[in-house]
Amino acid sequence: MCGIIGITGDKEGMVSRLMAGLTKMEYRGYDSAGVCISHPEGLDVKRSEGVLDNLKETVKDMKDGTCGIAHTRWATHGPPTEENAHPHCDPQFRVAVVHNGIIENEVQLRQILIEANNNDCFKSETDTELVAHVLAQELDAECGDVVPDDEQLLAAWRRSLDRFDGSFSLAAVVKGRSDVILVARSFSPLILAHNEAGFLASDVSCLVGMVKEVCFIEDGDWGLLHKDRMELFDSEGNPVSRKSTKLQWNEEDAELGGWPTFMLKEINEQPAVVRACLQGRLSREALRGVKIPYKPDLVRIIACGTAFHAGMMARHYIEELSGIPCIVDHAHEFRYGTPAGPKALVLGVSQSGETADTLAGLMTAQERGYPTLSIVNVETSTIARQSDAILGIRAGPEIGVASTKAFTGQVLGGLLVALRLGRLTNKVHTEELAVISNAARRFPNAMERLLASTQLEQGLKRARRLFHDKNHAFFLGRNSSYPIALEGALKLKEISYIHAEGYAGGELKHGPLALIEDGTPVVVISSEGIIQQKLFGNAREVSARGARVIMIAVEGDEEAAAHADVVITVPKTHPLLQPIMHNVVCQLLSYHVAMDRDCNVDRPRNLAKSVTVE
């Protein structure tokens, strides 16, 4: 969602470096942006609605300084306009603030400030502007019109923070202090770093190439960022220091590298993700690196969006391989449900490791006394640090908003957890582990063969034509292919804006069949086994009502063509891995349909990559 970057102590190129940081955070999703440079004589603020190219025009003649903050906004309070873009200032332009999160007591604070001043003092509809007003008010109380020293800044900042309820990461600059940035974190992530200057950001990706180590400040931390040091305090006001961590990624990881879009690049990176995720963990004889403290009597999986679908795959794996019952919850609903049971394991799944709903669910689980394990891509994220144990999927930076390679990593993470549980319950033996390991070792090569195949290209070309001028589509699956149907539908709607629904094939006659009409595209995820004939029956049901069927089948399936208008085949692999192969086709189908409709596949409208507010 919203992105923050700040730099202090840099002697030249401040505006360009801030803009470079914002550019690296474009993938998160945004609808307006702005920059503030703090000069000794005052604050220079430039903002614009829309894409960063608009802001680049606005800041062309902006004077560089030694301290600045910048922001990309994803609208929550008020529409995406220049007036609502960050940074926000108080009426006297003494303070400028950028903010991720939500100030929950906004209404009460606004009324207090109106009574103290007047209604005309507000220039935006945002909750962020209140932070600037409150900080300016506290500075007036602390030191009047005098430029504050560090002690006065900290005193005013602490009192200001005490007045805010909600989740937020904040960065603020003050007129006359072009050497320091005020920082604070409550639930929402914030990162600090030094490399001949002081840096802050809400997303580690925007600091790649600028610093080699970063410091993830903890929930409740606040203080000052200088060019050569950070002065931090915890929520009780006690001085604290936080360890620095080496960055996992390099600058090349977040570049296009010759691909036309990040989404297509990341789809094609999936064979490498499989190799990286399984390396050193899965062998013929052993399973390493998956830590589960004891055999649970229940697994509760919590996740949102694409990660939720990966969680559904994990449930399938866990119940099949270990026999342990498993429940998959939307993370935002888990907190309000019943306790999990005396020996439950709570498994969180998140790409960014900053998903607010999943983080809150894991914290709820820990409050109830349950051990937590998280499958994450960013191993230094808040969720990773909050969890009792983690399993990193090693997918590298995922820039496209619609998750592709991270989903594959998350599914493999779920498989590794299931195998560990299967070993704990003695249901997975060395012989079966060897079979799965052998299949997994060959799997990336088979995926590369699929991605490079002419047959796939031709099949996609025929299939995408069926979506021309269509506004509705269906994806059908059963058993292990059902989560892939859900994920395929989500991808299509995310990037092409076609309304798509994923269903278990058996649900068709219980209502959804009423929506099938002449020409409706229906994608059937066909796997081998006892469910295949049932899916063929579902394909006949929709065909009889005018639907056009696209079937994703396994190579050598001679019967599939009798039940579909278009058949796209994938290499045959182990049944546990087969759904991942089918999903690659769903990703590419959605990609090409969206490109045919001239959609921005990397930054779809209204969406954010990392959902850091509930």
Contact 15, 33 (CB under 8 A): no
d(CA 22, CA 381): 20
- In tens, the pLDDT along 533-562 reads 888 888 899 999 999 999 999 998 888 889
Q: Are residues 302 and 422 in the same domain?
A: yes
CA 119 to chain centre: 38
Kindly give, in sequence order, each residue whose CB lies less than 8 Å from that of residue 469, ignoring residues fewer than 6 positions away. Answer: none
Last residue of a domain, one of 432, 447, 462: 447
Catalytic residue, chosen from 2, 67, 277, 326, is 2
- In tens, the pLDDT along 381-400 reads 889 989 999 999 999 888 89
Q: Are residues 577 and 428 in the same domain?
A: no
Average pLDDT, integer, range 207-234: 90
Q: Are residues 354 and 487 in the same domain?
A: no
Report whether pLDDT(163) > 70. yes
C-alpha dihedral (538, 543, 545, 546), degrees to nearest 10: 150
Of the listed ranges 110-119, 229-238, 430-439, 482-491, the one predicted with least confidence = 110-119
Kindly give, in sequence order, each residue whose CB lies less than 8 Å from that of residue 258, ignoring residues fewer than 6 positions away. Answer: none
Q: Would you tell me how many other CB atoms lie within 10 Å of the CB of residue 518?
A: 8
d(CA 153, CA 604): 40
Last residue of a domain, one of 404, 427, 447: 447
Average pLDDT, integer, range 161-165: 92
What's the pLDDT score for residue 594?
Answer: 97
28 burial (CB, 10 Å; 0-12 / 13-18 / 19+) is buried
What's the pLDDT score for residue 343?
Answer: 85
| CATH assignment of the domain containing 403 | 3.40.50.10490
Place of tokens 């989560």: 483
Report whether pLDDT(24) > 90. no
Q: How confident is the model at residue 123 (pLDDT cuts 50, 70, 90)?
A: confident
What's the pLDDT score for residue 572?
Answer: 95
SS (H, E, C) 77-106: CCCCCCCCCCCEECCCCCEEEEEEEEECCH
**pTM surpassing 0.75?**
yes
Q: Are residues 419 and 545 in the same domain?
A: no
- Residue 475 DSSP class: E
d(CA 397, CA 420): 27
Average pLDDT, integer, range 166-190: 91
Between 518 and 10, the higher pLDDT residue = 518
Average pLDDT, integer, range 484-493: 98
What's the pLDDT score for residue 120?
Answer: 62
Q: Are residues 462 and 571 in the same domain?
A: yes
Q: Are residues 81 and 174 in the same domain?
A: yes
427 burial (CB, 10 Å; 0-12 / 13-18 / 19+) is middle
Average pLDDT, integer, range 3-14: 87
Q: Which long-range contacts (CB under 8 A, 24 or more apart) does 257-263 make?
A: 261/400, 261/591, 261/601, 261/602, 262/27, 262/399, 262/400, 262/602, 263/400, 263/402, 263/404, 263/495, 263/591, 263/601, 263/602
| CATH assignment of the domain containing 247 | 3.60.20.10
Give the DSSP per-residue string, 191-207: EEEESSSEEEESSGGGG
d(CA 421, CA 423): 5
Number of domains in the chain: 3
Q: Are residues 237 and 151 in the same domain?
A: yes
Q: Are residues 213 and 261 in the same domain?
A: no
Q: How confident is the model at residue 40 (pLDDT cuts 50, 70, 90)?
A: confident
Q: How confident is the model at residue 258 (pLDDT cuts 50, 70, 90)?
A: confident
- In tens, the pLDDT along 314-331 reads 999 999 999 999 999 999
- For the CA atoms of the chain, what is the radius of gyration? 26
Q: Are residues 125 and 18 in the same domain?
A: yes
| Residue 405 a catalytic site member | no
What's the pLDDT score for residue 252?
Answer: 67
Q: How confident is the model at residue 288 (pLDDT cuts 50, 70, 90)?
A: confident
Starting from the edge strand earliest in sequence, which strands make up the sheet with 244-246, in order? 42-49, 32-39, 67-73, 3-8, 198-201, 191-194, 213-216, 244-246
Average pLDDT, the chain: 90
Q: How confident is the model at residue 30 (pLDDT cuts 50, 70, 90)?
A: confident
Last residue of a domain, one of 447, 468, 484: 447
Catalytic residue, chosen from 24, 265, 493, 609, is 609
| Residue 609 a catalytic site member | yes
Place of tokens 């390493």: 288
Q: Are residues 240 and 275 in the same domain?
A: no
> Domain of 188?
3-252
What's the pLDDT score for residue 285?
Answer: 75
Q: Are residues 406 and 269 in the same domain?
A: yes
- In tens, the pLDDT along 498-522 reads 999 999 988 888 998 889 999 999 9
Give 470's Cβ-side CA count (13 Å radius): 25
User: For 323-404, where are the alpha helices, taking DSSP H only?
Assistant: 331-334, 356-367, 382-386
Its sign, for the CA torsion 513, 515, 520, 522, is negative
Q: Are residues 428 and 470 in the same domain?
A: no
